[in-house]
Amino acid sequence: MIDLPPLFVSRMKRLLGEGEFAAFQEALRSRPQIGLRVNALKISAQDFAARSPFALEPVPWCPAGFRVVDGSRPGKHPYHAAGLYYLQEPSAMTPAEVLAPRPGERVLDLAAAPGGKTTHLASLMRNEGLLIANDVQPKRVHEMTNNLDRWGARNISVLVEQPRRLAERLGAFFDRVLLDAPCSGEGMFRKDYSARKTWTPNHVARCARIQAGLIHTAARLVRPGGYLLYSTCTFAPEEDEGTIGQFLEKHPEFGVVPLEAKHGFEHARPEWADAPPAVAGALRLWPHKIPGEGHFIALLRRRDDTLPATLPALRPAPPKGEMRALYDRFVEETMRREPALRSRLAVFGNRLYALPEGLPDLKGLRVERFGWWLGTFKTGRFEPAHSLALAIEAEDAVERVNFAADDPDARRYLHREPLPSPGPDGWVLVTVDGFPLGWAKRVQGTLKSRAPRWLGRV
């Protein structure tokens, strides 16, 4: 085990006092919490709990959240591949609950990869409205698109942009913005030893500087009357109360929305960072007070009355000519109903998307996904995307093959092994206990898995 950094220890002793520090240190020596959050787009928390292969305890602050208490590894289960849940420790379930997006709103997750909180926001939005997930790191965005594909939401666009460029291009457009900021990660010391290794006081100071820039930019993207949620997974006052205090000084148009300290959460400590008293309305989550890792959450509301940005919508570009014929043939042969409204279809390159409601023109921005990716036009055919399979109902597909979760063929399918399967040639939706898992192509009685390669590795 790597020891806690001595300067971290002395700072936390000074802040907490010897007595509370002992409890805090004890908590950091215990095992990290394993949690999962159920995907309400696919199954209710109650129904999942009733069929769960793992022993679960509810997370009091998140109706879809559970702790896994029997030491099992839910990441390896086919239900994970079917997007029935996301693995997330309990404290990380608070930001989206507190930001509380509503169906139909415009929501931005500014530092979103690998997409944990985006999946939570998506479930709360119930496929209605616009959710933009952005991150600057292409590799992490790649991992995020895999996670979002599995989640099966239909209203997410994914960007890989510098926040500053988003603010310049989109302005005060969003009802709610989440800034889950890059931070020194002290709250993950129990879970992730690499955070202990990279920690230095200079790293904390560097993170605080980055956060000051990011929150300033995030604020420009919030419409008047809209909300900005700032979260970190660190205990460092400079990055928590300090960042919010300095932000409020420069942005009188924002105020802290006081949050209730229930479930063992505690109010923030403005006095630790010379911040204004209103910062006490934010929350600190301590691993010695709740069954979760360390977190900080501040909800801010923009209260000036400048006008929100109105932006031209991205115009749908439905498939034409041969593309249209190929897509029509696919829908007719494979689907019992149209997956998406024709009026929302848009072709970019050789990919077909269904655009989220209210998606603005994204010209000049680096787009990874315009919306729900339905499939790709290849020579003489339309090939359905994994994200299409994972966001439809099993009954929507004409040909289906179902495996029980404990049937070894479910895993064979995920590892792309061919399986015998009588029936007509063509696209088949593979399901696990009735939940879509991916596509396969049946050719002369053999099911050829089209599960993405990354799925077999998870």
Provide the annotated active-site residues.
233
Helices and strands in the chain: count of H runs, count of E runs: 14, 23
Contact 313, 378 (CB under 8 A): no
CA end-to-end distance (rounded Å), the chain: 26
Tell me if the bond preceding 114 is cis, omega within 30° of 0.
Answer: yes
Q: Cα 42–43–44 angle (5° rounding)?
A: 140
136 near ligand SAM, rule: CB under 6 A: yes
- For the record, the structure tokens of 168 come out as 């310049």
What radius of gyration do the chain's Cα atoms show?
23
- Please report the beta strands in 181-315, taking only residues with DSSP state E, as ranges in sequence order: 222-232, 254-256, 266-267, 283-285, 295-302
Q: How far is the CB of 419 from ligand SAM (least distance, A)?
A: 34
The site string for ligand SAM over 176-215 (x = CB under 6 A, - otherwise) reads ----x-x-------------------------------x-
Q: Looking at 129-137, 165-173, 253-261, 324-332, which segment touches ligand SAM (CB under 6 A)?
A: 129-137
DSSP 118-173: HHHHHHHHTT-SEEEEE-S-HHHHHHHHHHHHHHT-SSEEEE---HHHHHHHH-S-
**Antiparallel, parallel or unpaired: β 419-420 and 446-449:** antiparallel
Residues forming a β-bridge with 179: 230
Residues 262-291 that bind ligand SAM (CB under 6 A): none
AA identity, residue 424: P
135 near ligand SAM, rule: CB under 6 A: yes
Residue whose structure tokens are 């309990």: 90
State the number of binding residues for ligand SAM (CB under 6 A): 16
Nearer to ligand SAM, 10 or 162 (CB): 162
Q: How far is the CB of 232 from ligand SAM (least distance, A)?
A: 8
Nearer to ligand SAM, 148 or 326 (CB): 148
> What does the alpha-carbon distance between residue 112 and residue 120 come to, in Å, rounded to a whole number?
11
Q: Which of 42, 117, 169, 450 binds ligand SAM (CB under 6 A)?
A: 117
416 near ligand SAM, rule: CB under 6 A: no
111 near ligand SAM, rule: CB under 6 A: yes
DSSP 352-407: EEEPPTTPBP-TTS-EEESSEEEEEEETTEEEE-HHHHTTS-GGGBSSEEEE-TT-
AA identity, residue 289: K
5 near ligand SAM, rule: CB under 6 A: no
Q: Which of 83, 90, 163, 287 binds ligand SAM (CB under 6 A)?
A: 163
Q: How far is the CB of 214 from ligand SAM (least distance, A)?
A: 6
Q: How far is the CB of 92 from ligand SAM (least distance, A)?
A: 6
**Antiparallel, parallel or unpaired: β 446-449 and 435-443:** antiparallel
The site string for ligand SAM over 66-105 (x = CB under 6 A, - otherwise) reads ----------------------------------------
Q: Looking at 135-143, 289-297, 344-352, 410-418, which segment touches ligand SAM (CB under 6 A)?
A: 135-143
Q: Looking at 16-24, 131-139, 196-204, 254-262, which segment touches ligand SAM (CB under 6 A)?
A: 131-139
The site string for ligand SAM over 364-403 (x = CB under 6 A, - otherwise) reads ----------------------------------------
Interface residues with ligand SAM (CB under 6 A)? 110-117, 135-137, 140, 163, 180, 182, 214
